[in-house]
Amino acid sequence: MSLESARLPETTRLATLGLVADCLRVLGVLPLIELRRRRTSLHAVAAVARGLGEARGARQPARRAGLKRVIGAIDRRLPDGGNCVRRALLEMALDRTAARERLFAGFRSGGGRKSGHAWLESDVDRSVYDAVITI
């Protein structure tokens, strides 16, 4: 096998570079978002995420879907096993279109694990909640 034939096609190399760049972007903004998420109100951290996202470019749907996959893959590997609020905030912080969407938080009475969920306006959540707030 020659060195030429062992090289990846250009589109594969570009996709790989995009994936690596998205991983670095997520890891770069994650500490700020996580610190704010834990120490301030949802409204305040959403404003921070929106501010960051407004400075970014708007992604085409396929690139945004790729970003969401990267965010999900990193989020699942964090010590708490993942958090829907963190995922939505990270997406807002890294994509202008997401930053301009409404953030929803739904809650079921009774509290406890899995009694709430957060999502962006473009995500479809058909679950039923007792209360939903919009930010």
pLDDT exceeds cutoff 70 at 2: no
User: For residue 110, what pLDDT is reported?
Assistant: 86
Please provide the average confidence, as pLDDT, over all residues in the chain: 91
124 and 108 Cβ atoms separated by less than 8 Å: no
Reduce the secondary structure of 20-42 to three states and give it as a string: HHHHHHHHHHHHHHHHHHHHCCH
User: For residue 15, what pLDDT is reported?
Assistant: 75
User: pLDDT tens, 41-100?
Assistant: 999 999 999 999 999 989 999 999 999 999 999 999 999 999 999 999 999 999 999 999
**In terms of pTM, does the model score above 0.75?**
yes
Determine what percent of the chain is predicted with pLDDT higher than 70. 94
Calpha distance 56→81 (Å, rounded): 27
User: For residue 4, what pLDDT is reported?
Assistant: 52
Closest to 100 (Cα-Cα) out of 91, 109, 108: 91
Calpha distance 85→39 (Å, rounded): 14
Beta strands in 48-115 (DSSP E): 103-107
Calpha distance 84→88 (Å, rounded): 6
Mean pLDDT of 9-20: 80
Neighbours of 70 (CB within 10 A): 23
